[in-house]
Structures are given as structure tokens and as C-alpha cells.
């Protein structure tokens, strides 16, 4: 494949910037929130939008129904003697709440300072669409793509990818590929593109405590009857000590330690801890003692209460001893921790911590192991070259703390190399109000993706 061919592709992409942005804005206007059943029709609309879009590019396209939200699949024709790339992304988004903190409404995409603001802008509609637009740019030049590209775009990533897991197990042939390309992570910093070679996993729970059969007067009953909110506080506090060590028995047994070399590599990254704190407006940081901030975020497990409720939260005061309390909490996991073993040990520990007069229900939800990919892959090197082409700078290699549950399944089931090529920024506000995606990064991502098809195809011939 000659570079002049790629040049033509890149030129087409450059000339199409306004239209590509308009297409992204159209997709962002659809409130495809997967967690909330009231957005079911919009989830379907976003899937249909993609089907129509892939159809217009001339790709063989299918809408695959599942017991949950539909999967969109599309593929370009096979190319003999060239590898196959499978692009994975998600069209579902996180709920936009709290709405009053958005400067412009979450589903009315708005440009400010070169950023496009909308729920899903970076996570993941904008990032995912870079690959669709790069394929469009290749096809617009009247040439075949230099390799076969398959697209697998799901609508349940933000709720744990349950039905995609099932689909993968029954469709390994259809999805057969040499590498999986995922743009659903971030660059290291502004102007420092990155390839992510590790993600944390997750184990997520809801705990419900029930005490007396009704809310009680805290003066008449307090001090004699166990208060479920007090009990919940004690239980959650017991899960982690003051040095940041998680107290679930056996929790660290399978944690793969960070090698000296990896620690040195983390330290060599241009991480500005003061700027990190300034951005969050916090005057100090905490975490497991003996580890740096990047180690804590990328290479060590963590525990967070994600939500907690119980008792009186209205205006003024109410002297109540509530009958119930509940919380949602999760652990981020690293290789080689096993989410199921952790759940078993956690359940036992919680039972032990329950004070008299309290019943517990523990509900398990998201579950995914942490993952680290080897850096030796030829496809990874090809991706580094493509990023250099699109972003004008060679990427650094990083791990990240977020989870993409299906990624470990890809590696296991399809035996393919996974390329996590993130075009986002750490301050893109994913899962927060005012989510954004830099339009410059959107177009650089399209250019890098266009170059990626060229570089991946070249791998076979080198």
C-alpha cells in the first residue's frame, strides 16, 4: 500500500470535517441511556442510526437483537492475505444526572472552546465514530480497504455487557480476527497520545440492611435497637483500613505485584500531580500507602462506595431510627484477582460483621477481571506508527483504572491482540456533567484510524 493512497484518504477526511462533526452531533442527540428503561426507544434509535450509517457506507450490516439492548454488527469485504481487524465500541451512554450541573443540556451537543459537549461525546460515541469515519474516508477514494474491518458496537457497555458476553460465546467464527481495536480510553495528557496496555477489572455490589420492621422514634428506641444506618457505616468502614488496605480476607492473595521496571516506566511518564489536584480542586490525595498516584490508579485495587442511602434526607430534622439502609459499592481489581473468589470471601466477612437485629441482602452485579496485555505484539507497533501519523507524536504506553468488561473476554475467546487506542482526555468528564470531546482529537483520531488500516495491513507483508 503506498502512502499516496493514504494521503488521499486523509485529504478526504480533512475536507469532510464539518460533515463528520454534524454526523457525530446527530448521534449525540439521541439519549441512548442503557441503565434506565425509560430510554429504551432511544437505545433502539441509536442502534438504527448506526445500522443506517453503516448501510450507507456499503458495509454488510446487521441489527442483532438480544434479551437486552441490540448489538450492531457490520463488516467490509474480506481481503486475502491481510489481517482482520474487529472494532469494538458502544453506543450506550451513562445517565446524564445531575442535570442542573450541565452548562448546556446533555443531549443538545454544543461546541465551546473547540470541545463538543454532550453525554457520550468521548464515552464512547465520538471515539467509536472515528473508526467509522476513517472507513468512510477509505471507501470514498474509490479503493478497497487494505484489510477487512468488522464493527461490533453494543448498547450495554455501561451496564456490564451481559448479552454481548453470550453473543461472543456463540459467534467466535463470525468475529474471528487478528486484532481488536477499541477507542474507549484516554490519552495520557494533552498532546501526549497513549496506547493502553492494561485496564482494571471490577466487582460491584449492592448491600441492603434491614433492622426493625418500621421506622422508629430515635428517642424511644435509640441505644437499644440496632440502627441499620449505623450498622452500614461500621460495615463499610471495616472494609478498608486507614492505610488504604482493603480488609476482605485473601483480597490481595492474587494481586500481581508491579515489577521494578513497570514502576520505573510509570515514574518516567510526565505526570503532574499538582495539576491533577488543581483540576479536581482537592488539597491532598489518599490511597494505599507505599504507592504513587499512578500506581494506585492503574496497578493497585481500590474500594469505593458509589452510593448510600437510608434515613431522613428532607428539610429540617427528623429524630428517626430508620428501618432500612443500603449502599452500592465496588472494588476495582487488578490481575490476577478473581472476582468470584473475592465475592465469596466478602460475603463471609459481611455476615460476620452483622450486628444483632440486622438482616443483610448482598446483590452482585458487574464482574470483570483486570487485564494487562503484552507489549510485544506487531499490531501494537503498527498502532503506534498510526498514532504518530494522526497525532504527530509517538504514543506512550500506559495502564488505566477504568474497566471495559468485554475486553478480557475478547482476548480469551477470540485469541486476538487487543489495541486500546484512546483519543479522550482525563478531564473529558466521562460519567460526569459536562462530558466533552475535543474536536481536534476527533479528527486526529480519524486520521490515526485511517493510517491504522494501512499499517495493520502492512504487518502481513513485512
Which stretches of the chain bind Zn ion, using CB under 5 A? 123-124, 184
Q: Is the dihedral of CA 289, 294, 298, 303 positive or negative?
A: positive
Q: Which does 126 bind (CB under 5 to 8 A by kind): ligand BES, Zn ion, none?
A: none
Distance of alpha carbon 106 from its chain centroid, rounded?
A: 19
Nearer to Zn ion, 16 or 32 (CB): 32
186 lines the binding site for ligand BES (CB under 6 A): yes
Exactly one of 31, 310, 402, 445 binds ligand BES (CB under 6 A); that residue is 402
Burial class (CB in 10 A: 0-12, 13-18, 19+), 432: middle
| Residue 205: CB minimum distance to Zn ion, A | 21
Nearer to ligand BES, 68 or 160 (CB): 160
What one-character-per-residue DSSP string does 129-142 give?
A: HHHHHHHHHHHHTT
403 lines the binding site for ligand BES (CB under 6 A): yes
Q: Which residues contact 426 (CB under 8 A, 6 or more apart)?
A: 186, 189, 279
Distance of alpha carbon 200 from its chain centroid, rounded?
A: 10
Residues 386, 172: Cα–Cα separation, whole Å? 27
Residues 135, 7: Cα–Cα separation, whole Å? 14
Nearer to ligand BES, 123 or 178 (CB): 123
Nearer to Zn ion, 34 or 76 (CB): 34
Q: Which does 115 bind (CB under 5 to 8 A by kind): ligand BES, Zn ion, none?
A: none
| Residue 122: CB minimum distance to Zn ion, A | 8
Q: Which stretch binds ligand BES (CB under 6 A): 97-105, 262-270, 400-408, 445-453?
A: 400-408
| Residue 202: CB minimum distance to ligand BES, A | 5
- Residue 422 CA: distances (Å) to CA of 335, 361, 444: 21, 38, 11
Catalytic residue among 157, 158, 400, 435: 157
Catalytic residue among 21, 75, 92, 400: 92
| Residue 322: CB minimum distance to ligand BES, A | 29
Give residues 87-126 in contact with ligand BES (rule: CB under 6 A). Answer: 123-124
Number of residues that bind ligand BES (CB under 6 A): 17
Q: Which stretch binds ligand BES (CB under 6 A): 20-28, 67-75, 346-354, 402-410?
A: 402-410
Q: Which does 324 bind (CB under 5 to 8 A by kind): Zn ion, ligand BES, none?
A: none
Q: Which stretch binds ligand BES (CB under 6 A): 178-186, 226-234, 301-309, 390-398?
A: 178-186
404 lines the binding site for ligand BES (CB under 6 A): yes
Nearer to ligand BES, 75 or 400 (CB): 400
- Residue 103 CA: distances (Å) to CA of 100, 126, 426: 8, 19, 19
Nearer to ligand BES, 185 or 337 (CB): 185
Q: Which does 366 bind (CB under 5 to 8 A by kind): ligand BES, Zn ion, none?
A: ligand BES
Nearer to ligand BES, 132 or 430 (CB): 430
Are 80 and 22 spatial neighbours (Cβ–Cβ below 8 Å)? no
Is there a catalytic annotation at residue 157?
yes
Exactly one of 89, 370, 405, 445 binds ligand BES (CB under 6 A); that residue is 405
Residues 421, 412: Cα–Cα separation, whole Å? 19
Q: Which residues contact 402 (CB under 8 A, 6 or more apart)?
A: 185, 199, 200
Exactly one of 16, 32, 34, 185 binds ligand BES (CB under 6 A); that residue is 185
Of the candidates 152, 154, 162, 169, the one whose C-alpha atom is nearest the C-alpha of residue 204 is: 162
What one-character-per-residue DSSP string does 217-274 give?
A: EHHHHTTTS--HHHHHHHHHHHTB-TTS-B-STTTTTTPPPPPHHHHHHHHHS---HH
**What are the backbone dihedrals phi and psi of residue 58, each rounded to the nearest 5 degrees, phi first?**
85, 15
| Residue 232: CB minimum distance to ligand BES, A | 23
Are 75 and 51 spatial neighbours (Cβ–Cβ below 8 Å)? no
Exactly one of 160, 339, 395, 445 binds ligand BES (CB under 6 A); that residue is 160
Nearer to Zn ion, 124 or 435 (CB): 124
| Residue 198: CB minimum distance to ligand BES, A | 10
Exactly one of 202, 229, 258, 418 binds ligand BES (CB under 6 A); that residue is 202
Residue with cell 465469596: 344
In the structure grid, which three cell numbers stand for residue 305, read together? 462506595
Instruction: Please count the other Cβ atoms lying within 10 Å of the Cβ belonging to residue 100.
Output: 6
Q: Which stretch binds ligand BES (CB under 6 A): 153-161, 173-181, 251-259, 345-353?
A: 153-161
Is there a catalytic annotation at residue 283?
no
Half-sphere exposure of 305 (CA within 13 A, CB side): 14
Active site residue ranges: 92, 157
Binding residues for ligand BES, per CB under 6 A? 123-124, 157-158, 160, 184-186, 199, 202, 366, 400, 402-405, 430
Amino acid at each position: 500500500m503506498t502512502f499516496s493512497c493514504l494521503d488521499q484518504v486523509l485529504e478526504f477526511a480533512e475536507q469532510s470535517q464539518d460533515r463528520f462533526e454534524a454526523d457525530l452531533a446527530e448521534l449525540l442527540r439521541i439519549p441512548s441511556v442503557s441503565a434506565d428503561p425509560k430510554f429504551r426507544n432511544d437505545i433502539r434509535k441509536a442502534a438504527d442510526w448506526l445500522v443506517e450509517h453503516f448501510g450507507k457506507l456499503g458495509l454488510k450490516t446487521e441489527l442483532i437483537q438480544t434479551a437486552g439492548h441490540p448489538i450492531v454488527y457490520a463488516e467490509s469485504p474480506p481481503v486475502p492475505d491481510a489481517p482482520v481487524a474487529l472494532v469494538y465500541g458502544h453506543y450506550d451512554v451513562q445517565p446524564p444526572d445531575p442535570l442542573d450541573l450541565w452548562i448546556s443540556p446533555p443531549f443538545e451537543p454544543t461546541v465551546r472552546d473547540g470541545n463538543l459537549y454532550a453525554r457520550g461525546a468521548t464515552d464512547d460515541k465520538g471515539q467509536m465514530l472515528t473508526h467509522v469515519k476513517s472507513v468512510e474516508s477509505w471507501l470514498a477514494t474509490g479503493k478497497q480497504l487494505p484489510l477487512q474491518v468488522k464493527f461490533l458496537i453494543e448498547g450495554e457497555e455501561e451496564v456490564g455487557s451481559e448479552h454481548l458476553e453470550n453473543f461472543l460465546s456463540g459467534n467466535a467464527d463470525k468475529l474471528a480476527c487478528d486484532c481488536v481495536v477499541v477507542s474507549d480510553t484516554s490519552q495520557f495528557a494533552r498532546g501526549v497520545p497513549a496506547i493502553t496496555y492494561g485496564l482494571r477489572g471490577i466487582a460491584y455490589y449492592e448491600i441492603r440492611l434491614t433492622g426493625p420492621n418500621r421506622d422508629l422514634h430515635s428517642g424511644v428506641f435509640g441505644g437499644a435497637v440496632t440502627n441499620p444506618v449505623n450498622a452500614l457505616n461500621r460495615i463499610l468502614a471495616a472494609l478498608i483500613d486507614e492505610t488504604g488496605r482493603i480488609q476482605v480476607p485473601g483480597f490481595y492473595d492474587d494481586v500481581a505485584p508491579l515489577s521494578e521496571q513497570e514502576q520505573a516506566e510509570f515514574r518516567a511518564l510526565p505526570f503532574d500531580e499538582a495539576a491533577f489536584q488543581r483540576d479536581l480542586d482537592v488539597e491532598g490525595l489518599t490511597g494505599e500507602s507505599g504507592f504513587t498516584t499512578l500506581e494506585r490508579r492503574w496497578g493497585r485495587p481500590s474500594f469505593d462506595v458509589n452510593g448510600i442511602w437510608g434515613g431522613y434526607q428532607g428539610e429540617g430534622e427528623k429524630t428517626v431510627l430508620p428501618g432500612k439502609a443500603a449502599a452500592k459499592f465496588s472494588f476495582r481489581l487488578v490481575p490476577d484477582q478473581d472476582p468470584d473468589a473475592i465475592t465469596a470471601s466478602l460475603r463471609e466477612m459481611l455476615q460476620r460483621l452483622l450486628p444483632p437485629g440486622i438482616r443483610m441482602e448482598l446483590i452482585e452485579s458487574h464482574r470483570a477481571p483486570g487485564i494487562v496485555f503484552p507489549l510485544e505484539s506487531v499490531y501494537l507497533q503498527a498502532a503506534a506508527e498510526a498514532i504518530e501519523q494522526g497525532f504527530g507524536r509517538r504514543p506512550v504506553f500506559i495502564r488505566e483504572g477504568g474497566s471495559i468488561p468485554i475486553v478480557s473476554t475478547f482476548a480469551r475467546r477470540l485469541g486476538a491482540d487487543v489495541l486500546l487506542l484512546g483519543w479522550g482526555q482525563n478531564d473529558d468528564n466521562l460519567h460526569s456533567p459536562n462530558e466533552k470531546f475535543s474536536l481536534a482529537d476527533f479528527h486526529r483520531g480519524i486520521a490515526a484510524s485511517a493510517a491504522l488500516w494501512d499499517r495493520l495491513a502492512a504487518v502481513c507483508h513485512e
